[in-house]
Structure 1
Amino acid sequence: MSTSPSQSLRPRRRVIAAAVAVVLTAGAIAAFAPAEQASAASYPSWSDVQAAKASESAQQDKVTEIKSLISDLTTEAAAKQKSAAAAGTAYQTAQTNFDEATLKQQKLQEQADAAEKTAAQSEEQAGQLAAQLGRASSNDVTTDLLTHPTNSGDLLYELGAMSKLTEQADGIYSQATQDRGTAQALADKSAVAKKALGALADAAQQKMQAAQSAAEAAQTAVDAQNDNQARLEAQLTLLTSNATNVEAKYNKGVAVEKARQAALAKARAAAAAKAAAAAAPSGGSGAGSNGSGGGTPNSSGWVRPSAGYQTSPYGYRVDPYTGAHALHAGVDLAPACYSPIYAAHSGTVTFAGNGGGYGNEVVLDNGGGISTAYGHIVDGGIMVAAGQHVSAGQQIAQVGSTGWSTGCHLHFETRVNGAAVDPVPFMAARGISV
């Protein structure tokens, strides 16, 4: 299922509540960064807070300051995440418009090519009849009728046949002209549609760049909240209660939370490795159709992007999330949640962030006009950054169910000059089965 900005902040709010609880009860705290990571010019230090308790007015001022800082952190993170989600949706919409327009243009071109072939056949047939009429008219039938009256029956028959042949030729010429007009009209439509693709491609690229900037701004705001809010909550507790050893308890809670996060990451990695091992064939290759992924690149330099069998192909379908008939621009592979996602080919990360309906997404420029995209990545599961070079088979993310998704899976796309193509034949041509 998709996650909204407010939903993605809920775990953090639970973290803040836990941070306050540990100050009061010395229980577990949820904080994600060193206590003094923030700049002293922007956030109060523990010594500032302790000093403020010397007078009631200073204490109240510090309480007001800290509450304002906490509010600003929360508001900024929520606003930036909302902007990132909107930018991601705009990017997804622009990309979908380009993909659908490309398919329509390709269909128009196919129709134009077929009409051109029909027109050429009609014109060839008309030319053959013209030649036949030319040979028949080389004999002066009227002169033969006057000079050989005994053959008048045959000659009159010949006149009738010529008349019918002429009528047939007129019909074929008319059809050939009509076919030529149809071919030209379709060719013109295809040319207009192809010309429009440039603007749609540019729009998709611009929206993707805007979404990347918004994603980075959102991550910066969330990092600031993660780095500072739990500490500020603890400092507020120090100012407004008689609790003792607040700083020491906070720092202890930070260490406990770091250990918990490390254990969680280790457990996720172990689960992903187990899922990958279960899907892998005995030979360990990532190129098979049995659901394996990753491994050593084949001779073409490609690997399967994840484990799991295909659950939805490329093409138009009724979207299981929206219920609308729309283009599914890739294939879905469904290994277990948190399973590794690998770079299908070496390349440079051009996008890593909120992709709207794609959820958390990574896009790689694989060179030569080819790019690959990996969608629905779990929150916190993107392991690369924009501008980073990755190798084929390198883990770049973890499988999730963000965006327009009804369960954990990888949405995998292959693109040529920015337009989506069916990954099955594309990858098959490179020795990989998906």
Structure 2
Amino acid sequence: MSTAPHLFPRPRRRVLAAAVAVVLTAGALAAVGPVSAATAASYPSWSDVEQAKASKDAQQAKVTEIKALLADLTSKASAAQAASEAAGKAYQDAQTEYDAATLEEQTLQGQADDAERTAKRSEAQAGQLAAQLGRASANDVTTDILTHPSDSGDLLYELGAMSKLSEQADGIYSQASQDRGVAQGLADRAEQAKEALGDLADAAQAKMQAAQDAADRAQTAVDAQADNKARLEAQLTLLTTNAKNVEAAYDKGVAAEKARQAAAAAAAARAAAKAAATSQGGTGGGTPNSSGWVRPSGGYQTSPYGYRVDPYTHYRALHAGVDLAPACYAPIYAAHSGTVTFAANGGGYGNEVVLDNGGGISTAYGHIVDGGILVSVGQHVEAGQQIAKIGSTGWSTGCHLHFETRVGGSAVDPVPFMAARGISV
């Protein structure tokens, strides 16, 4: 598996002085694997192009070849994008289904526990009544009537009371039986829901791995072909115009693009620092507390954990985390030390990082800005280390961090989870 630190889609540009501007949008590729050395070797060299100019037929053939190669690159980039989005969406759907099923199982188990306590109270009441009836039956009412005829009024009252008590007993026994049936029914449903969680957990994990693999393959393919596309555009310019020194201009353009990317990265870092300095509602990062945890970002909480009408899809769905909104490009920190297990397109989560924090606990960070993932799969990070930048990718209506805490792979409410570890979100 590749450990490329960036996520896609990620624009790549090469500036060519001979007016050849190339923009290649990278995407995840499930069906197309890494470019092999044999494939890369099939691209024409600058020498091939220069030699082709000596013959009009050779020149036209080379132009046709290069245009076909460019079309192929465009097709593969589109396939990569589609595969990435499909794999990310499949992962998101599987994770959401698992989270919702876990919450339902927990709710059923809570209801089953309450019903069990009710059934035990009913059975205890029935038991007490049975003991009372047993004591009452020790006095033979018929014998009392025969031996104490003068007390027949009291004895008739006693008979009436015994009849009333018997009626009450029937009701209590019936209620106890009904309560026990409800408790058993809920317990069975909770057990069935719990058994189903294993398959859902496996599916979510497999889909997450598939999304990461698709991202890795796509990034490898895009990295291998990006320079080829830029060079092919420049070679086409050399073949179809009278431009001079195109190769030199291409090399100069590549150098200029590297400088531009470095400047852009520096500007983004300054923006992130400014956003971190001006964010409100709590700060993130810093020195871990005694439990080893930190707040994952600054900003106020804008949406809690639980069911809601999703502001993006407009359908009622489980919001499996909390949203923190400092500012675009603000830093995202590892809430606890751990290992990166996912850094790719997460469908509705947008660009996402997932950390395995040990002990069955993991944390997830979603909606990261394009190009804003600063870690790679397999990398160990420390609590408070910056791992990404705030963005608005995926199902998002504005820059924020979607933060999840997962136990056994399933999301739990981050507010009490983090509070138990001394952190307020």
TM-score (norm 2): 0.91
Amino acid at match of 1:414: T
Q: Tell me the residue number matched to 2:213.
A: 213
Q: Tell me the residue number matched to 1:329.
A: 320
1:425 is displaced (CA, Å) by 0.7
Relative contact order higher in (CA < 8 Å, ≥ 6 apart): 2
1:63 is displaced (CA, Å) by 1.6
Tell me the distance in 2 between the aligned counterparts of 1:395 and 1:389. 12
Tell me the distance in 1 between the aligned counterparts of 2:22 and 2:108. 62
Q: Tell me the residue number matched to 1:3.
A: none
Q: Tell me the residue number matched to 2:98.
A: 98
Tell me the distance in 2 between the aligned counterparts of 1:30 and 1:199. 42
Amino acid at match of 2:105: Q
Q: Tell me the residue number matched to 1:168.
A: 168
Summarize the alignment of residues 35-434 of structure 1 with structure 2, pairs less than 5 Å apart: 41-279=41-279, 290-434=281-425
Tell me the distance in 1 between the aligned counterparts of 2:198 and 2:348. 23
Partner-residue secondary structure (3-state), 1:23: coil
Unaligned runs of 5+ in 1: 1-6, 33-37, 281-289
Runs of 4+ residues deviating >6 angstroms: 28-32
> Is 70-79 or 308-317 further displaced after alignment?
70-79
Partner-residue secondary structure (3-state), 2:212: helix
Given that residues 337 and 409 in structure 1 are in contact (C-alpha distance below 8 angstroms), is that contact kept between their aligned partners in structure 2? yes
Tell me the distance in 1 between the aligned counterparts of 2:63 and 2:377. 39
Given that residues 112 and 186 in structure 2 are in contact (C-alpha distance below 8 angstroms), is that contact kept between their aligned partners in structure 1? yes
Higher normalized strand content (fraction of residues) = 2
Tell me the distance in 2 between the aligned counterparts of 1:409 and 1:110. 33
1:50 is displaced (CA, Å) by 1.5
Given that residues 359 and 377 in structure 1 are in contact (C-alpha distance below 8 angstroms), is that contact kept between their aligned partners in structure 2? yes
Tell me the distance in 1 between the aligned counterparts of 2:303 and 2:226. 37
Tell me the distance in 1 between the aligned counterparts of 2:125 and 2:189. 27
Amino acid at match of 2:121: Q
Tell me the distance in 2 between the aligned counterparts of 1:57 and 1:24. 26
Given that residues 31 and 227 in structure 1 are in contact (C-alpha distance below 8 angstroms), is that contact kept between their aligned partners in structure 2? no
| Deviation readout 1:1-43 (Å, 9 max, x if unpaired) | xxxxxx958x55xx46x54xx2149xx88799xxxxx986232
RMSD between superposed Cα atoms in Å: 2.0
Tell me the distance in 2 between the aligned counterparts of 1:29 and 1:216. 23
Partner-residue secondary structure (3-state), 2:375: coil
Partner-residue secondary structure (3-state), 1:381: strand
Q: Quickly say closer, same or farther: Cα 1:147–1:342, change in 2 above 3 A.
A: same
Tell me the distance in 1 between the aligned counterparts of 2:22 and 2:175. 82
Partner-residue secondary structure (3-state), 1:378: strand
Q: Quickly say closer, same or farther: Cα 1:91–1:99, change in 2 above 3 A.
A: same
Partner-residue secondary structure (3-state), 1:341: strand
Tell me the distance in 2 between the aligned counterparts of 1:122 and 1:418. 38
Tell me the distance in 2 between the aligned counterparts of 1:374 and 1:135. 67
Given that residues 145 and 155 in structure 2 are in contact (C-alpha distance below 8 angstroms), is that contact kept between their aligned partners in structure 1? yes
1:49 is displaced (CA, Å) by 1.6
| Deviation readout 1:80-109 (Å, 9 max, x if unpaired) | 110110011011001111111111111111
Tell me the distance in 2 between the aligned counterparts of 1:269 and 1:209. 30
1:219 is displaced (CA, Å) by 1.6
Amino acid at match of 1:196: A
Tell me the distance in 1 between the aligned counterparts of 2:279 and 2:191. 46
Amino acid at match of 2:18: V
Partner-residue secondary structure (3-state), 2:373: coil
> Is 245-254 or 232-241 further displaced after alignment?
245-254
Given that residues 22 and 229 in structure 2 are in contact (C-alpha distance below 8 angstroms), is that contact kept between their aligned partners in structure 1? no
| Deviation readout 1:318-340 (Å, 9 max, x if unpaired) | 00000000000000011111111
Q: Quickly say closer, same or farther: Cα 1:98–1:200, change in 2 above 3 A.
A: same
Could you tell me the percent identity over the aligned residues?
Answer: 77
Given that residues 31 and 257 in structure 1 are in contact (C-alpha distance below 8 angstroms), is that contact kept between their aligned partners in structure 2? no
Tell me the distance in 2 between the aligned counterparts of 1:340 and 1:224. 30
1:23 to 18, 21, 44: 18
Q: Quickly say closer, same or farther: Cα 1:138–1:191, change in 2 above 3 A.
A: same
1:276 is displaced (CA, Å) by 1.4
Given that residues 296 and 393 in structure 1 are in contact (C-alpha distance below 8 angstroms), is that contact kept between their aligned partners in structure 2? yes
Tell me the distance in 2 between the aligned counterparts of 1:232 and 1:138. 106
> Is 256-265 or 416-425 further displaced after alignment?
256-265
Given that residues 347 and 365 in structure 1 are in contact (C-alpha distance below 8 angstroms), is that contact kept between their aligned partners in structure 2? yes
Given that residues 327 and 399 in structure 2 are in contact (C-alpha distance below 8 angstroms), is that contact kept between their aligned partners in structure 1? yes
Tell me the distance in 1 between the aligned counterparts of 2:92 and 2:375. 20
